[in-house]
Amino acid sequence: MVIAVNLSQVTFRNTKHNYFSTWVYNALLIPLAAIGLLHPMVGVAAMASSSVNVVTDCLRLRKATSKPSWRQRQA
């Protein structure tokens, strides 16, 4: 039960981080590139880094599931 709660907390934090990084990309960089204030390659690099960031955050969930719970440490 403790592992499930820990995993849900880490997943929720991960989702908030991914949402924020995606929002920054979509709300700021795409309009700047659309009106010509930002070079298109900067937008491409931001999109690629956003995708890498999402994948990296998802891979961090493996560490959260492999931690022993507090009951296992006491035994």
The better pLDDT of the pair 71, 54 is held by 54
Mean per-residue pLDDT, 41-68: 79
Strands (E), the chain: none
Is the residue at 72 inside a domain? no
If one counts the domains in the chain, the total is 1
pLDDT of 69 strictly over 80: no
Is the residue at 74 inside a domain? no
Is the residue at 1 inside a domain? no
Is the residue at 73 inside a domain? no
Q: What is the pLDDT of residue 20?
A: 86
Is the residue at 43 inside a domain? yes
What is the distance between the alpha carbons of residues 75 and 71, in angstroms, rounded to a whole number? 7
Q: In this structure, are residues 2 and 38 in contact, taking their beta carbons and an 8 Å threshold?
A: no
Q: Which residue is associated with the tokens 């990084």? A: 21
In which domain, by residue range, is 16 found? 6-66
Q: What is the pLDDT of residue 74?
A: 53
Mean pLDDT of the chain: 79
